[in-house]
A and B are shown apart, each in its own frame.
Chain A
């Protein structure tokens, strides 16, 4: 390195050689990155038991629920930005705990205790603040068209996720006190669906979301298995209607949001379709697999072995909003869509995609492992809860399917 400035080589040659060296070095280094960020999938996903990283993620959430100060602080931090996040963080964590309890029966008692605490507090907040306690402020700007005059507004988003919390808890260990609350939620879901020509309930005023409606179908299925009801016809009709009226023609993907009458508001989005595919897997495996394959083709991406998901298919561009989260330009990487892609990839046991997503998570998730807990700095409580759900899902869906077989 003694010939940095002067020597037998001219400045022009030195600069050109440097540019070529940088290009060559980049061509060698960038593909090699995947070898460095190469997490062991067994650390995150396991067929039986609980994977080590899932255990660490779960521990962080458990501490939040064991320590009231920590919990209040975390919830305030999220609610300042978005009350939905607080609610969804609760839902995904309860669903994770249900799967954890089945994966590790020795932990079931603690899981059930925490699930009951979260369910109880969530219902209390809803009782005190109404449905708006968990909705974004624009939910107050118009009237819920499916609510009867004089009735408090109801949201498919809130009813569906609470119903699924109650249902999953009862799948792990039935509890008589939850039977009636689940029946009431299911009745509300069914009543709203029957009021719509596209058999859909509104989550916000005159705004039906595929995320919430497919989640509602999963809740109906779980309730059927638990209480011997039969909503198979309604589920079948919803899927038939969705195939006919709620599919975006260019991609074949379900649109994300639509009016009660079925008019499209938002086209296909990653933050919706991955979760929709996961929920549909419980009620119509063929349709779910088809939606997953289409979603992977349209918005799943892999660059140098690092997988991620876009929020919108190239043919249906959209604008950045609270659902998409920050979208990294050029590549179109969406944190929300990529996080939920874990859920779908785990549901369909798509190992290559999961491994690519894990590589991306280790590269850009900024994991912080401390005192036996794990959190991802580039995520938040709901993001981490979604990841935990992806790492634990399986046993509840499996049990519901087994019990539902004639």
Chain B
């Protein structure tokens, strides 16, 4: 049973999507999900694309599993690498922007110090 009065654990805050870590973690989740689907043998259900169904299973279930595999494949092959690369780019960009912001702030502080 969860305690309704308990305060949320600040360490379990949702990782924002638009952040280097957020992108990398989502890329890893997509990759892992596809890996599990692949190891579970869902690839054979991709035959729904040809209008056929995999052996020994209800056609609708086979199509659903095939759709899921296809979506995870697209996620792993097209989306996850983009997120990984974007995460890397973002680290560099945010670091540069951060340095720039700090130097601007530093300059402003030194200017205001001189004025005083």
B101 near A9 with CB under 8 A, answer yes
Q: Please indicate the chain B residues that have their CB under 8 angstroms from the CB of A322 in the complex.
A: 51
Instruction: Decide if B50 touches A9 in the complex (CB within 8 Å).
Output: no
Asked if A22 is at the interface (CB within 8 A of a chain B CB), the reply is: yes
User: Of residues B52, B53, B77, B91, which shows the largest number of chain A Cβ atoms within 10 Å of its Cβ?
Assistant: B52
How distant is B98 from chain A, measured CB to nearest CB, in Å?
Answer: 4
Give chain B residues whose Cβ lies under 8 Å from the Cβ of A326.
Answer: 49-51
Q: Closest Cβ of chain B: how far from A178's Cβ, in Å?
A: 31
Scan residues 1-49 of chain B and give those whose CB is less than 8 A from a CB of chain A: 13, 15-24, 43-47, 49
Please list the 7 inter-chain residue pairs (A to B) with the smallest Cβ-Cβ separation, ordered nearest first: A25-B85, A18-B18, A25-B86, A380-B52, A4-B19, A21-B89, A377-B46
Q: Quick check: B83 and A1 within 8 Å, CB to CB?
A: no
Number of interface residues of A (CB under 8 A): 41
* B97–A9 touching, CB < 8 Å: yes
Q: B50 near A24 (CB under 8 angstroms)?
A: no
State in angstroms the CA–CA spacing of A295 and B55 once bound together. Answer: 36
As a 0/1 sequence over residues 289 to 311 of chain A, the CB contacts with chain B under 8 angstroms (1 = contact) are: 00000000000000000000000
**What are 13 A-B contacts with C-beta separation under 8 Å?**
A4-B15, A4-B16, A8-B98, A14-B18, A17-B94, A21-B86, A24-B85, A81-B51, A81-B52, A377-B45, A380-B47, A380-B51, A383-B50
Residue in B45, B82, B91 whose CB lies within 8 Å of A1: B91
Q: How far is the CA of A246 from the CA of B24 in the complex (A)?
A: 56
Q: Out of B51, B73, B82, B102, name the residue touching A22 (CB < 8 Å).
A: B82
Task: Say whether A29 contacts B94, CB under 8 Å.
Answer: no
Give the residues in chain B near A379, CB-CB below 8 Å. 47, 49-50
A73 at the interface (CB under 8 A from B): yes
A386 vs B116: C-alpha distance when bound (angstroms): 84
In angstroms, how far is the closest chain B Cβ from the Cβ of A305?
15
**Cross-interface CB contact of A9 among B22, B24, B86, B94, cutoff 8 Å:** B94
- What's the minimum C-beta distance from B44 to chain A, rounded to whole angstroms? 5
Tell whether, in the assembled complex, residue B86 and residue A18 are in contact, meaning their CB atoms are under 8 Å apart: yes
- Enumerate B92-113 residues with CB–CB distance to A below 8 Å: 93-94, 97-98, 101-102, 105
Contacts of B77 in A (CB 8 A): 33, 363
Known: A22-B23, A24-B85. 16 other contacts (CB 8 A): A3-B98, A8-B98, A8-B102, A9-B98, A17-B93, A18-B19, A24-B86, A25-B85, A29-B81, A78-B52, A81-B51, A325-B49, A326-B49, A335-B49, A368-B44, A378-B49
Count how many chain B residues have C-beta atoms less than 8 Å from C-beta atoms of the other chain: 42
Which applies to chain A's interface (DSSP): helix, strand, loop or mixed? helix
* A18 x B50 contact (CB < 8 A): no
With an 8 A cutoff between CB atoms, is B68 at the interface?
Answer: no
Interface string of A1-28 (1 = CB under 8 A from B): 1011101110001110111111011101
B23→A18 contact, CB < 8 A: yes
Confirm or deny: A66 has a beta carbon within 8 angstroms of a beta carbon on chain B: no
Most buried by A among B16, B45, B73: B16
Provide the residues of chain A in CB contact with B22, threshold 8 Å. Answer: 4
Distance, CA A61 to CA B85, complexed state (A):
42
Chain A residue nearest to B89 in the complex (CB): A21
Evaluate contact between B94 and A7: CB separation under 8 angstroms: yes
Chain B residues positioned under 8 Å from A325 (CB to CB) = 49-51
Chain A, 374-404, CB within 8 A of any chain B CB: 377-381, 383
Report yes or no: B83 in contact with A25, Cβ–Cβ below 8 A. Answer: yes
Contact of A4 (CB < 8 Å), options: B20, B43, B101: B20
Within the assembled complex, what's the spacing in Å between the Cα atoms of A88 and B98?
A: 64
B94 to chain A: which residues have CB within 8 Å?
Answer: 3, 7, 9, 14, 17
Q: Which residues of A contact B86 (CB under 8 A)?
A: 18, 21-22, 24-25
Interface bits A62-83 vs B (CB < 8 Å: 1, else 0): 0000000000010001100110
Map CB proximity to B onto A29-73 as digits: 1 under 8 Å, 0 otherwise.
110010000000000000000000000000000000000000001
Tell me if A19 and B18 are in contact (CB < 8 A).
Answer: yes
Q: Are A21 and B46 in contact (CB under 8 A)?
A: no
Count chain A CB atoms within 10 A of each CB in B21, B44, B97 and give the residue with the most.
B97
- Chain B: CB-nearest residue to A78: B52
- In the complex the two chains form, is B50's CB within 8 Å of A366's CB? no
Known: A4-B19, A29-B81. A24 touches B89 (CB 8 A): yes
CB-based contact B21/A1 at 8 Å: yes
